[in-house]
């Protein structure tokens, strides 16, 4: 179970959520729950730029803004990259 859903179940209000979904990105229900939680800061780690763009676009529609994105080449001499992205409520 994703960490943020556990927090929602416990009715706590986390200040930061770190998410590292599989290559297919976050599903719609997880994104909806994350947006509903109104967590002030999200750190989204992604290994697929296309699903990252899709998920960030969905989060932006709910009030989040991308503050910073850093690309990390963890697998030199391959096309695989990781990116670490900071989103905050606007």
Q: Identify the CA nearest to 51 among candidates 30, 33, 35, 37.
A: 30
User: How many CB atoms sit inside 10 A of residue 67's CB?
Assistant: 12
Which is nearest to 63 in space by CA: 84, 27, 44, 37?
37
Give the whole-angstrom CA distance, residue 5 versus residue 1: 7
Catalytic residue among 31, 47, 59, 87: 47
Q: 7: which residues sit within 8 A by CB, 6+ positions away?
A: 13, 14, 17, 37
Whether 69 sits among the annotated catalytic residues: the reply is no
Q: Which residues are catalytic?
A: 47
């Amino acid at each position: 179970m994703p960490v943020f859903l556990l927090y929602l179940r416990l009715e706590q209000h986390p200040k930061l959520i770190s998410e590292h979904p599989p290559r297919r990105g976050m599903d719609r229900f997880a994104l909806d729950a994350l947006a509903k939680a109104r967590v002030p800061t999200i750190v989204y780690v992604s290994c697929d730029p296309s699903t990252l763009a899709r998920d960030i676009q969905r989060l932006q529609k709910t009030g989040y803004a991308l503050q910073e994105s850093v690309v990390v080449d963890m697998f030199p001499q391959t096309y695989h990259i990781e990116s670490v992205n900071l989103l905050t409520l606007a």
